[in-house]
Structure formats: C-alpha cells, structure tokens
Amino acid sequence: MEFQQVVRRRRMVREFAPDPIPRGVLERVLETGLHAPSAGFAQGLELIVLDQPAQIEEFMTITDPWARKADGRRGDPPVIVIPIGNVHTYLARYSEPDKQGLGMNVPEGWPVPYWDLDAAMSVMLILLAAVEEGLGGWYFGIFHGEAELMRQLGVPEGLHPIGAVALGYPTEGEQRRGSGLWRERKRLEEALHVGRW
Ligand SMILES: Cc1cc2nc3c(=O)[nH]c(=O)nc-3n(C[C@H](O)[C@H](O)[C@H](O)COP(=O)(O)O)c2cc1C
C-alpha cells in the first residue's frame, strides 16, 4: 500500500472481531514501532503485550471498570499493547560523555519528556503498520487505575505508560466513532503560521 494511502486510511477502530492476530503479523506491526526516531537514539521504548483473554479482561476491569462494562464489553480487542517510554533509559543515555553538560541526566532537565514523545512516535508507526496489515488500531488514554495496572504487570517503579493501543481485525459492521465523526479535519492554511504566528 502506498504511504499516502496508509496515512489516509488510518483511523481509530474501536470495535474488534474476536479473531486472533497471527503472531508474525503482530510482530511485524510492533517491530515497525522500533523504527521511530528517538532522542540520542536512546530507544527507551518498552511494549507490554496482552494477548490472552484473561489479560484483556483484567486490563479492562482495572482501567475502566464502569464505562466498558456498561457497553456489555462488545468488540474487545484480541490484543492490547501498552507502550512505555523508559525514563531511566533516557537519563542513563544523557549521562553518557557525548551528552554531558546538557543537564539532562535528571528528569527536570528536559524541555519536554522525550521518553513520552518517542513512545508516541512509535505508536504512530504501529498504527500505520496495522493499516498495512489490514488490522484496526485504537490508541486511547489510561485514565483510571494506572498504578494498579503497573503493579499487576510488574512494571518497575517510576515508569508510566503513555496510554494503550488496541489491535485486532475490525468487525464487519465496524463504523467510525469518536470526535472524528463530527469534527472536521483542519486544512493546511488553518495550521500554518509562515514566518511568525
Ligand atoms: C493523545 C491522544 C489521546 C487520545 N485518547 C483517546 C481516548 O482516550 N479514547 C479514544 O477513544 N480515542 C482517543 N484518541 C483518538 C482520537 O479521538 C482520534 O485520533 C481523533 O478523534 C481523530 O480520529 P481518527 O484517529 O479516527 O482519525 C486519542 C488520540 C490521541 C492522539
């Protein structure tokens, strides 16, 4: 598929068929995420993959115990990936000789948390790779239960997920939902500030 076609086809898919994702397909999609740029080539991305029904169930119960249950849990994805930008990897990388003196060996020294930014870039690639494989992808925030979830998954102290990515084949009747239904895409002229704001 052409790049522009992949970009334009991508949208958040929020209802999934129960069909599993073949291991090779899933690995291709996730490996694509490793081709994202990263600050200092730190590559601090960590991906927790939940692909067992009991794990998906537990994720749903911890992170959204009310809303998703109200929906009857129809269309749960077969796979949920939790991307984490490992802050410790970045602080270690920016303590190396070529990065010394920047003051970025402590979290407060960073203009923006590049560990989260880099993880987001990887998520974008994962969402695009999913399109190429005929999969649907859905990035969403974790608004509830993050601490409990991290504990359950054995994630080391001080690490935070940037959200979650659901992956799976869309159901036949799956239709666009969410804000994209009623909000129009910006035109380039609306975003451009050539020379100055
Ligand atoms: C940072 C970020 C957070 C988002 N959080 C959620 C979320 O919590 N739940 C959700 O259903 N969609 C979420 N979305 C998806 C957006 O609603 C979606 O990208 C937007 O409406 C445009 O639609 P499209 O991606 O289908 O083109 C999020 C997207 C981004 C980039």
- pLDDT per residue over 110-122, tens digit each? 999 999 999 999 9
Residue 185 falls within a domain, yes or no? no
Q: Ligand 1, residues 8, 112, 139, 144: which to mutate, most atoms within 8 A of Cβ?
A: 139
Range of the domain at 73: 3-173
**By CB neighbour count within 10 A (0-12 exposed, 13-18 middle, 19+ buried), where does 33 fall?**
buried
CA-based angle 138:39:33, to the nearest 5?
30
Atom of ligand 1 nearest to the CA of 14: 11
- What's at 182, amino acid-wise? W
The answer to the question of residue 145 being in a domain is: yes
Residue 187 lies in a domain: no
- Whichever domain contains 72, its CATH number is 3.40.109.10
Q: How many domains does the chain divide into?
A: 1
pLDDT in tens, 82-138: 999 999 999 999 999 999 999 999 999 999 999 999 999 999 999 999 999 999 999
Residue 186 belongs to some domain of the structure: no
**Is the residue at 188 inside a domain?**
no
User: Is 179 within a domain?
Assistant: no
Q: State the distance from the centre of ligand 1 to the C-alpha of 15, rounded, in angstroms.
A: 14
Contact by Cβ (8 Å): 95, 105: yes
Q: What pTM does this model have?
A: 0.95
The token duo for 70 is 């109200």
- Residue 145's pLDDT band (boundaries 50, 70, 90)? very high
Residue 119 lies in a domain: yes
